[in-house]
Every structure is written in structure tokens, then in C-alpha cells.
Amino acid sequence: MSDKDRLYDAFGEIAYAIAKADGLIDQEEINKLTEIIDNHPWASNIKWSFNYEWLRDEDAEVIYKKAITRCYDHGPSPEYKQFIDLMNEIAKASHGVDEKESAMIESFSKDLINQFMKDYEAIHKRD
């Protein structure tokens, strides 16, 4: 599996985690995911990953941690903006954004920034 494959698997996992954060996945959230990624070149990877976690009925936090770790491993990427936009749109799709969804979206941005800052500092300590 390529680095890009793993990144877009994480994209599907993050979509699953945000949809599941409020306890259940609504049809509106699935429809929004499909609408957003329908023409994306990696749509099949994203959908497969989302569906895989959904069929397993995994805990949203567990999947979030798995996905954010993949993002850390991948490193900085312009795709993360799309991830955050997707998370917001899925969260809004069904009854608006609740506290758990909002916290997960905020955490994603902060977690990535914190990790990449640590990586940056570690690199510069070696110099």
C-alpha cells in the first residue's frame, strides 16, 4: 500500500469517526460524504475505508487515533484542509454539529500542528 493509499484510508477513517462521534451514523452523513467525494480521484479508497469501519462498528475515538497516527506518519500535506472541510460538512449534515463532533474537528487541527511542531523541533535539535 502506497503512502497516498494510507493517507486516503485515513481520510475515510476520519469521515467515519466524525460521523460516529455522536453515537450513530445517519443517512444524511453518508449522503454528504458521497456528495463531497464523489468526483475525488481517491473516492473508492475513502468509501472503502469508511465502510470497513462502519461494518465493524468501531469506536469513533479508536478510529480517530488510528487515522491521526497515519496522518502523523504521512507528514504535512495540503490534503488536511480537505479533511477538515469534510469533517465539518459531515458533522453539519445531521442535526448540526454537536459537542463531540466539534471537539474532534478541533482536536484534529491541534493534534496535527502539535505533532508537526514536535517533528520540526526534533529535526532542528540535531543541527
Q: What is the CATH number of the domain that holds 72?
A: 1.10.3680.10
The string of DSSP letters for 13-77 reads HHHHHHHHTTSS--HHHHHHHHHHHTT-TTHHHHHHHHHHHHHHT--HHHHHHHHHHHHHHH---
φ and ψ at residue 95, rounded to 5 degrees: 65, 20
pLDDT tens per residue across span 103-122: 999 999 899 888 888 888 88
- How far apart are alpha carbons 106 and 103 in whole angstroms? 5
Supply 27's cell numbers: 443517512
Q: How confident is the model at residue 127 (pLDDT cuts 50, 70, 90)?
A: low
Closest to 108 measured CA to CA, from 1, 2, 10: 10
pLDDT tens per residue across span 44-81: 999 999 999 999 999 999 999 999 999 999 988 888 98
The pLDDT of residue 24 is above 80: yes
Closest to 8 measured CA to CA, from 86, 60, 89, 61: 86
Q: For the chain, what is the domain count?
A: 1
For 14, other C-beta atoms within 10 Å of its C-beta total 29
CB-based contacts of 93: which residues, under 8 Å, 6+ apart? 26, 28, 29, 31, 32
Domain that holds residue 31: 3-126
